[in-house]
């Protein structure tokens, strides 16, 4: 069974630039999560989708971050414009249903300079 795929693995951008991350969840998984993991901290939930609907985005900085999950499968997370404090690893995860075990991709390491 293929795991959660994320791209790119690494990205370096200058502040005020924009960046987008892509996630392909495990086939059949209805729930998709995006987490931000700053160095030395635990993952922080940015947004949670159930199929193509948003379940929770209370911690998503909506003035600069946006996410979508078209057709309830792949998802993209965008940052525009980026700030230095956005430097982190962005993790995508999926699960069969809400509350079930989540499977994680390898993450995208973003460095904003």
Partner 1 sequence: AQSVTQPDIHITVSEGASLELRCNYSYGATPYLFWYVQSPGQGLQLLLKYFSGDTLVQGIKGFEAEFKRSQSSFNLRKPSVHWSDAAEYFCAVVNDYKLSFGAGTTVTVRA
- Residue 25 touches partner 1, criterion: CB under 8 A: no
Pairwise CA distance, residues 29 & 47, whole Å: 16
3-class secondary structure per residue, 39-63: CCCCCEEEEEEECCEEEECCCCCCC
Rg (CA), the chain: 13
Q: Using CB under 8 A, pick the residue from 91, 94, 110, 112 that binds partner 1.
A: 91
Shortest distance (Å) from residue 56 CB to partner 1: 6
**Kind plus residue range of the DSSP H or E element containing 5:** strand 5-7
Residue with smaller CB distance to partner 1, 79 or 91? 91
Q: Using CB under 8 A, pick the residue from 32, 43, 46, 75 that binds partner 1.
A: 43
Shortest distance (Å) from residue 15 CB to partner 1: 24
Residue with smaller CB distance to partner 1, 4 or 82? 4
Q: In sequence order, what are the beta bridge partners of 37?
A: 89
Q: Using CB under 8 A, pick the residue from 13, 22, 30, 56 that binds partner 1.
A: 56
Residue 25: asked if its preceding bond is cis (omega within 30°), the reply is no
Residues forming contacts to partner 1 in the complex (CB under 8 A) are: 4, 33, 35, 41-45, 48, 55-56, 91, 93, 98-99, 101-107
């Amino acid at each position: 069974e293929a795991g959660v795929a994320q791209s790119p693995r690494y990205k370096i951008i200058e502040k005020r630039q924009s960046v987008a991350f892509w996630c392909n969840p495990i086939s059949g998984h209805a729930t998709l999560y995006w987490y931000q993991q700053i160095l030395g901290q635990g993952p922080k939930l940015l947004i949670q989708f159930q199929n193509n609907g948003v379940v929770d985005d209370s911690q998503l900085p909506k003035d600069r971050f946006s996410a979508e999950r078209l057709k309830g499968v792949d998802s993209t997370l965008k940052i525009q414009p980026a700030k230095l404090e956005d430097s982190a690893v962005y993790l995508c995860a999926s699960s069969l249903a809400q509350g079930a075990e989540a499977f994680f991709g390898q993450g995208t390491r973003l460095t904003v300079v």
